[in-house]
A and B are shown apart, each in its own frame.
Chain A
Amino acid sequence: MSAREKLLELRGVTMDFGGLRVVSDLDLHVDEGEIVSVIGPNGAGKTTLFNLITGIYEPHAGDIVFAGESIVGLDPHKITRKGIARTFQTLRLFLNMSVRDNVMAAAYGHTKSGPLRAMLRTPGQRREERETRALAEQRLAFFGERLMGYRWDQPAYSLSYANRRRLEIARATAANPRMLLLDEPAAGMNPAETHEITELIGKLRDEGGYTILVIEHDMHVVEGISDRVIALDHGVKIAEGSFDAVATDPRVVEAYLGTRSVATK
């Protein structure tokens, strides 16, 4: 594991909201081909971590290095083009667009034809359009039958909650990233679907070749997918290692359940 190359590395990243320190001097790395889970109680700074990596926020201190290059201060769309795509905890699909268009839209970063070529329908533009469509359909096919066939032309708002989560993942993969950030992929899913998403995240790495950083509350999922687990509390990394090591770490237990004295009150 340690022999692998570091794909993403955070060095001393700090972020304040007003007077509140949300992420504090955080060091973190994800190796190429690894699946790393971030756990922690609500408000621990997990989603803020994602927002920092994807460029929505700029850290007040520290550096974020992706594939050997600092990505601090870049516009979010440029970071995505460098190879980081994400999903959202509160789903942010393009609800009034078709399922297929949702996925095709995310191919913007690695396609080229501008409006002028679209007006003239040049052969290159038409080929690119066909390729984008094929790419989208292939990404949707990753989820078996669930997002197939007539659903391609349905608006995204017609999908069930679980299918919306799947569509978000499909959309993120259409940006052709090297790394996927999944923000609570199993939230709101029933046990069977949770089981399925656990399989799928493993498949994403094995077949898609993505390096994956995932925020998840469901410990079955975390246990099922993680090469490594990082526990955050109040923006500080309190534990890191294998699932078993982190899950039994007294500081993690304390962060989730409170100290013994409080618990017995």
Chain B
Amino acid sequence: MGDVYDDDSLTAPVAGAAEATAAEETSPAVGRDEWVARQAELRFRRGGTIGVVEERLRAVPWWAWLTLFVAVAALLPVGFESGYVRRVAFDTALYMLLALGLNVVLGWGGLLDLGYVAFYGIGAYTYAVLNSDKYDVHLGAIPSMVIVLAIGAVAGFLVGLPSRRLSGDYLAIVTLFFLQIFLTVTINSDDIAGHNVLGGPNGVLNVDPLTFFGHEIPVSHDGIFNVAYLYIAIAVFAVVYVALRLVNQSRTGRAWRSLREDALAAELMGMPVNWLKLMSFAFGAAVAALTGVLFASLNASVFPLTFSFPLLITIYTMVILGGTGSQAGVVIGAILINSTLEFLREPADARELFYAVVLIGIVATFRISWRLAIVLGGTFVFGVILHVVAKAIDGSWVDGAAAGGGGLGDLASDWVIVPSDLAAWITPVSYITLVAVTLLLTLLKGWVRLVVLVPTLYLAAFVWENVMLAKPEPTRYIVLGALLIALMIARPNGILGERRVEIV
């Protein structure tokens, strides 16, 4: 067919068409496809060194990445003596596990399970009951884990039952209701028919640490986090990661993804959709419950409100940010969010993060160009002039000390106006003005945007130094929210998420 439509045939279209018909009559071109034949030249490739690196990186198999990751994670305690850092690493590993479990239901099964953290709670409570003085049972780690996995899977299976008939928003409401039931029952569990079953709001206390074959692993040495728990968490993570990966690469995983894409088509291609949905619920729930064992054993206590909506939102954020459906993505999401939240605790660290993110954002927007120079230079000069003017008017306007101190903090207080005594009205006014101007910026174009951007950046620095850093706790979440918004605009499918196409 291809040679028919060359230049000659364009000048004599009638003759060309006749030839084409004749060619078809004599030899029907079954499966001939010129486009495929030339695919090598047509395929898109990024040139240069970046292209080569990208291609090489893509060729690295998943297990090599995982091995590298686990090795780095295992070496982390060597570089960091601090019990705090190790403890944060342990918490991050728990989040990674929770994200992996949610990824099965949400990413592969495509089921919106808003009751997910209840399974985490069920696992933690089950371990607590089986390994504490509450009922004077001390079962040990391995049998508990087996039982918890089974109970988690069964619970997931039961909660998944409505998914036989419901999907999307409706399923979300039902599973959310299940989480509420879990919370209500555990909070009121100190008086169920007159019995104190699970301790109610006071939870289950004095839970045993992990005990393997009668050998107890203490949660801390001299009050410092026992690094063995970090290794156990990493080991559990690696096992869960590989197990889920293998399931996803099998017939079951393909069926899950098929039902996520089109449940009716999956059913008609011979896949028992209802059973597969229940299976994905059970797998996700079992992973969450297993994570609950690690949580309960390290904290030595379990309280109902741990397993509540803020945690649910955090885990969903990790999964969505990392890229729903991608195992590596949700792990990165978990690490990114938990470490960002920890980083933002210290004003000096938070300051570095803030200025770095703002700078990266500006550079990413303008690239290397004269506009970038105008914005950065303009903001700097604007700040210096304002600082000098303010100092000339009243010295106390610039006398304040930067919260948290540090080299960057000293630099910032030489540039940003930090009054020693901030008038009460400035806080809300500056904050609201910043939000309003930022929104206004999205509507502006061209040089007007550049002009408005300069004082906005300065105002942002002012608000950051004077308002945000003064209250680190809410600031953490505001900054995290802003980061999320920016990241999701830049990459709507998450960091490692595949581009999803609904209708073409």
- A positions within 8 Å CB-CB of B: 54, 56, 75-77, 80-81, 85-86, 88, 92-97, 101, 104-111, 113-115, 117-119, 121, 125, 128-129, 132, 143-146, 148-151, 155, 157, 171-172, 175, 192, 195-196, 199-200
Contacts and interface: CB of A to CB of B under 8 A. Distances in A.
12 contacts: A94-B258, A94-B265, A96-B257, A97-B254, A97-B261, A104-B251, A105-B257, A108-B270, A115-B247, A118-B247, A145-B33, A171-B269
B266 interface: yes
B473 to A, nearest CB: 40
Contacts of B28: 195-196, 199
Interface of B is mostly: helix
A101 B504 CA distance: 19
B250 A125 contact: yes
Nearest to B248: A118
A75 B267 contact: yes
B112 to A, nearest CB: 17
Contacts of B502: 95
B250 A146 contact: no
B268 A118 contact: no
A85 B269 CA distance: 7
Interface stretch (B36-44, B70-78, B133-141, B143-151): B36-44
Contact of A199 (B30, B43, B267): B30
Contact of A80 (B33, B254, B270): B270
Nearest to A126: B250
Contact of A196 (B30, B36, B246): B30
A54 B255 CA distance: 19
Interface in B99-155: none
A192 B32 CA distance: 11
B276 to A, nearest CB: 9
Interface string B255-278: 101100110111111111100000
Contacts of A144: 30-33
Interface in B466-483: none
B257 A94 contact: yes
B279 A192 contact: no
A114 B252 CA distance: 7
Contacts of B504: 95, 157
Which are the 10 A-B pairs with shortest beta-carbon distances?
Answer: A144-B31, A109-B270, A118-B250, A94-B261, A92-B265, A80-B270, A106-B269, A157-B501, A105-B254, A105-B258
Interface residues of B, number: 44
A111 B270 CA distance: 10
Contact of B279 (A80, A93, A115): A115
Given A77-B272, A157-B504, A111 B265 contact: no
Given A101-B254, A115-B250, A119-B246, 20 more contacts: A77-B270, A77-B271, A77-B273, A92-B262, A96-B500, A97-B257, A97-B261, A105-B257, A108-B271, A109-B269, A113-B251, A114-B252, A118-B250, A128-B251, A149-B36, A150-B43, A195-B24, A195-B28, A196-B28, A196-B31
A67 B39 CA distance: 44
B300 to A, nearest CB: 32
B60 interface: no
Given A75-B272, A92-B264, A171-B269, A108 B251 contact: yes
Contacts of B267: 75-77
Nearest to A171: B269
Looking at B24, B254, B258, B498, which has the most chain A CB atoms within 10 Å of its CB?
A: B254
A108 to B, nearest CB: 5
Contacts of A143: 31
B465 to A, nearest CB: 45
B243 interface: yes
Contacts of B253: 118
Contacts of B32: 144-145
Contact of B268 (A86, A114, A121): A86
A151 B265 CA distance: 21
Interface in B261-304: 261-262, 264-273, 279, 283
Among B37, B255, B262, the one with the most A-chain Cβ atoms within 10 Å of its Cβ is: B262
Contacts of B265: 88, 92-94
Of B261, B270, B502, most A-chain CB atoms within 10 Å: B270
B249 interface: yes
Residue with the highest number of chain A CB atoms closer than 10 Å, among B24, B265, B266: B265
Nearest to A141: B31
A174 B267 CA distance: 14
A113 B252 CA distance: 8
A97 B273 contact: no
A128 B262 CA distance: 25
Contacts of A110: 270
B503 to A, nearest CB: 8
Interface string B481-501: 000000000000000001011
A56 B247 contact: no
Contact of B269 (A108, A114, A121): A108
